[in-house]
Amino acid sequence: MESIQTERFTDRLYRNVEPIWSKNFHHSFVQGIGRGTLERELFSYYLKQDYVYLIEYSKLFAIGAQKATSIEVMKQFSVLLHETLHFEMDVHRSYAKSFGISEEELEQSEPTPINLAYTNYMLNVAHNGTLAELVSCLLPCAWDYWEIGKKLYSNYHNELETNPYKNWIKAYSSDEFGALAKWLIQLMDELTFEKPERELTILENHFQTTSRFEFLFWEMLLNQEEWPLQVQNMV
């Protein structure tokens, strides 16, 4: 008997956010990294904002391990937690060092309103929702960055050696990152297999929302959208 190939849930998710991800790739901040023309000051700003973003984001993997119902899934979340705190944040730490930014300065960056809204959205879902909801929130971040990394590499690899952001491009287009994103994609498909449409729609919404936050994050970086009212330290 011929089997009917049904669409994977992650294919549907991808199709849904393609216009948003395309805007992310074409964003002038991302293209500036690809061409190597992004101002150093803006990249420093990115390093600081992204570092505190990653501290919060890492917690999602810890919550994922807590919510997992098998040792295999727990192990994989602990790998993701480890890889983010070490491999990914090392890329930021080593760029920061070469830019004269100390680790303390990185850690003490004050998250902008968009940064805070993005991580708080994911952490709220992670604490109050199902494991599938948690994965639908954290997936665009890992998957879209991998897409961006691969496309930047393929479009700009000829000029890569003179690009100051080459290590960033190499890290996010690497097979190591690809493997993490692929595992999360596979987990999303497993967790949603034969699930009712009512549940799938909720996941689709989280996926769209966090994909939009990815766009807002690039915009926030480009425009350095800080809090409107500065407060003095009350000492």
Ligand X SMILES: Cc1ncc(C[n+]2csc(CCO)c2C)c(N)n1
Catalytic positions, written as ranges: 141, 214
For ligand X, the binding residue among 125, 142, 152, 187 (CB under 6 A) is: 142
Task: Name residue, tokens 């929130």.
Answer: 137
3-state secondary structure of 134: helix
- Distance between CA atoms of 106 and 218, rounded to whole angstroms? 18
Q: Quickly count: other Cβ atoms within 10 Å of residue 77's Cβ.
A: 25
- Our CB check for ligand X shows the closer of 183 and 189 to be 183
Closest CA to 89 of 81, 79, 77, 78: 81
Closest CA to 27 of 224, 226, 222: 222
- Our CB check for ligand X shows the closer of 9 and 213 to be 213
| Structural tokens at position 105 | 């300065």
3-state secondary structure of 205: helix
Q: Is 141 in the site for ligand X (CB under 6 A)?
A: yes
Cα dihedral sign for 57, 7, 208, 126?
negative
User: Of residues 50-109, which lie at the interface with ligand X (CB under 6 A)?
Assistant: 50, 53-54, 57, 80, 83-84, 88
Q: Is 180 in the site for ligand X (CB under 6 A)?
A: yes
3-state secondary structure of 69: coil
- Distance between CA atoms of 53 and 113, rounded to whole angstroms? 12
Name the minimum Å distance from CB 152 to ligand X: 13
3-state secondary structure of 227: coil
- Our CB check for ligand X shows the closer of 7 and 153 to be 153
**Beta carbons of 11 and 129 less than 8 angstroms apart:** no
Query: Going residue by residue from 22 to 51, which x/- string records binding to ligand X, judged by CB under 6 A?
Result: ----------------------------x-
For ligand X, the binding residue among 77, 145, 156, 165 (CB under 6 A) is: 145
Q: Is 133 in the site for ligand X (CB under 6 A)?
A: no
Name the minimum Å distance from CB 217 to ligand X: 5
Name the minimum Å distance from CB 143 to ligand X: 8
Name the minimum Å distance from CB 214 to ligand X: 6
Q: Is 147 in the site for ligand X (CB under 6 A)?
A: no
Name the minimum Å distance from CB 53 to ligand X: 5
**Beta carbons of 114 and 218 less than 8 angstroms apart:** no
- Our CB check for ligand X shows the closer of 156 and 168 to be 168
The site for ligand X, by CB under 6 A, has a size of 15
Residue ranges binding ligand X (CB under 6 A)? 50, 53-54, 57, 80, 83-84, 88, 141-142, 145, 177, 180, 214, 217
